[in-house]
Amino acid sequence: MSKQNITIRLEPEMVAKLDQLAAAMQRDRSWLMGYAIERYVEEEAWQVKAIREAMQKVKDGRARVASHEDVSRWLESWGTDDEREAPECK
């Protein structure tokens, strides 16, 4: 499959930073943008897949979890005189 050109809009400050980084890496701007987008997309795709798999495990009863509220209350108690025990996973 051949590569395609796309257009994006960036603030002038970001373009300047991009150009500085490209010069430091001895690459051109388009290579750096392509590299950055590829890395971002791969990382996000991995994360979305991991979240979906985990949610399916919870739905199927193959994973034990604690509620967001219980974990939040526990974390908020850290460092206080009334620090709570870690919530139980169910």
Percent of the chain with pLDDT over 70: 100
Segment 58-65 shows an average pLDDT of 94
pLDDT band of 1, cuts 50, 70, 90: confident
Q: Dihedral (C-alpha) 67, 69, 72, 73: value to the nearest 10 degrees?
A: -120
Please state the domain extents for the chain. Answer: 12-77
Segment 30-35 shows an average pLDDT of 95
pLDDT single digits (tens) 6-20: 999 999 999 999 999
Q: What is the pTM of this model?
A: 0.69
> Is residue 87's pLDDT more than 90?
yes
First to last CA, the chain: 48
